[in-house]
Chains A and B, each alone.
Chain A
Amino acid sequence: MTEAVLTVTSLTGVEMALPIAGPGMRSYAFLVDWQIRLLGALTWLLIAVLLRLLPAIAGGPLAHELLLGGTVLALLTYFLYQPVLEMVTRGYTPGLRTAGARIVTLEGTTPGIGALLIRNVFRLIDALPLFYVVGLVSCMLTERHVRLGDLVAGTVMVQVAPQASGELDRLAAQARRDTLPLEAMELVHDLLTRWTSLAPQQRASLARSVLAKLEPGFNGADTALAEPALHRRLEALLERGR
């Protein structure tokens, strides 16, 4: 299955692709946010209950008001957490950051307050009948994996690459050293980037075959070298001169 992407055009007319977050990533971000706001709401209630136990307040007229106040604050925290955070941070919440996603417009830009407000107001429909069933079904069925609020507001949740500039810096530094042919450098860099996502046997076998081609005297059939050692040799290959 190909990954859904949002294609945007840069100022210079070059097209760029932003990978769209699927229902899994969206649900993960939602669950993290839900836990945070639930915890926040419960904290207010706990504070109100504990204050009621103070001798000066217990049994007095303030006790009832404290509980009501705590309930109102808990409800405000629970219901305003997402709209307020999204508007203040322009498309990020702690849940989205944890999941590695953010909200952008269909042009790949940071959404405005109006769009963020509308996508949050439409939670009234997306949350129906319960547990966001409408929103989840909409995410699964739509091409860009969006819920109804996103459809109306013209927003999309995309995956973010927070380390992209750092990666470019490293790659450029390696290119400057003139150590390897470009394609070989790209190959080694790619293998090292995907190292943790590959199965141990698979990455060891790939590392051996790459090292056998690029490092004179390396025996590709030698299985004595352990994975960490192979990883170190690949890194060293990028660092040292030809």
Chain B
Amino acid sequence: MSAADDEQAAVWVRAHASQWQSLAAQADAAARRAQPTVDEALRTLRTYRVLARHLATVRSLLPGGVLAAVLERTCTGLHTAVNRPPPLTRARWARLFRDDIPAAAAAVQPIALWLAALLAASACAGWWLINTYPELVSLIASPQMIDGVEHGHLWTYQILHLGPPAMLSARIFSNNVVVTFGAFCFGTLFGLGAFYMIAINGLMLGGLLAFTHQHGLALGLLKFILAHGPVELSVMCLAAAAGTALGEAVIRPAAETRSAALRRRAEQLGPLLIACALLLLGSGLIEGFISPHPQVSIPVRLALGLGYWTLMLLWLSGRLVPRRSNAARDRSETAIPQCRTRID
């Protein structure tokens, strides 16, 4: 750079120095603000634009200098503040439950049906296996469980002694969440992890039914799982289907890169995990408070199980609350209320 250029750069920098001082104060305030007013948000945007423009100029006038680095750091801080997702308002929650979750469920519906068929097939295989080779039950049940069943007692009704129902529900819920989310995560291994988890759970279910049937306790086991089982198994199939869809994105990314396809699919299916967790919370409460009680009759269990399952189907199919069209949703979300001063 010539001396004239140096002089020109110095003049430019000194002419803008006072502006930067006020912009720095605004940038600092913008980064701290959680809920800006419309005026504050617009001012932050202006600050960001001005600083980014000045950054480009400083880079050409004083390339690689400290001033450019400091301006860049201030700009990146503002970039994160400006591009902040809106806070979770009631409207956003409503959209999640009314539109996003049913849309995610619809996207994985065919895979979920296939996985339900796999669960049924592996349950049949488990039934056949334990009926043919009863000694293999030690692979799927603990010695205490086997001993109890051989003496005519189901382990399911003894879990009441493990603690109060609320604690029991919490333990069951956390265990179910780990299994379900595990099926989702392991699905990224080209779907094989999800297949494995569904098949192994089906095999165990069929095997235990066969084992209890051999000792005349199958009806008791069915009675136990009647109230919470339908939703629990359906949720597992759904989460595994979502995981398989992630695996499919890795195998067949179409026009995108594999990582971009995986990210897009995960973003689309993420809401389904919230639905799964909530549904499991409900079935955990049923399993902790109702299922272990021998006094609860079969019709009550059947009504509860089918009722909860129907509710789940209505919600996930978007029939519980009618879904809104994309155009209507876009209209309502892009409209800025004139009378409000807060951005929400």
> Residues of A at under 8 Å CB distance from B?
8, 10-12, 14, 16-18, 64-65, 68-69, 72, 75, 79, 90, 102, 104, 107-115, 117-118, 121-122, 124-125, 148, 151-154, 160-161, 164-169, 171-173, 175-176, 178, 181-183, 186, 189-190, 193
* CB <8 Å contact, A124 and B182: yes
From B28, B84, B88, B188, A109 is in contact (CB under 8 Å) with B84
* CB <8 Å contact, A75 and B174: yes
> Residues of B at under 8 Å CB distance from A?
6, 9-10, 13-14, 16-18, 20-21, 23-25, 27-28, 31, 45, 48-49, 52-53, 55-56, 62, 65-67, 70-77, 79-85, 88, 163-164, 167, 170-171, 174, 178, 181-182, 184-186, 188, 246, 259, 262-263, 266-267, 270-271, 273-274
Q: Output the least CB separation between B250 and chain A (Å).
A: 10
On chain B, the residues within 8 Å of A148 by CB distance are: 188
CA distance A11 to B79 in the complex (A): 8
Interface centre among A18, A111, A121 (most CB of B within 10 A): A121
CA distance A183 to B164 in the complex (A): 73
CA distance A119 to B170 in the complex (A): 23
On chain B, the residues within 8 Å of A193 by CB distance are: 66
On chain A, the residues within 8 Å of B267 by CB distance are: 114-115, 118, 154
User: Nearest residue in A to B56 (C-beta to C-beta)?
Assistant: A14
On chain B, the residues within 8 Å of A154 by CB distance are: 263, 266-267
A interface majority secondary structure: helix
CA distance A109 to B80 in the complex (A): 5
CA distance A186 to B74 in the complex (A): 17
CA distance A114 to B92 in the complex (A): 12
* CB <8 Å contact, A12 and B49: yes
* CB <8 Å contact, B80 and A104: yes
State whether A16 and B56 are in contact (beta carbons under 8 Å apart), knowing that A183-B65, A189-B66 are contacts in the complex. no
* CB <8 Å contact, B55 and A72: no
* CB <8 Å contact, A152 and B262: yes
* CB <8 Å contact, B85 and A171: no
CA distance A165 to B178 in the complex (A): 43
CA distance A95 to B77 in the complex (A): 19
From A112, A152, A173, A186, B21 is in contact (CB under 8 Å) with A173
From A12, A18, A151, A166, B76 is in contact (CB under 8 Å) with A18
CA distance A68 to B163 in the complex (A): 8
**7 A-B pairs, CB-CB below 8 angstroms?**
A12-B49, A65-B163, A72-B167, A90-B84, A154-B267, A161-B76, A172-B21
From A108, A122, A161, A169, B73 is in contact (CB under 8 Å) with A161
CA distance A10 to B83 in the complex (A): 10
On chain A, the residues within 8 Å of B14 by CB distance are: 175-176, 178
On chain B, the residues within 8 Å of A68 by CB distance are: 163-164, 167
* CB <8 Å contact, B48 and A11: yes
On chain B, the residues within 8 Å of A186 by CB distance are: 62, 65-67
* CB <8 Å contact, A16 and B75: yes
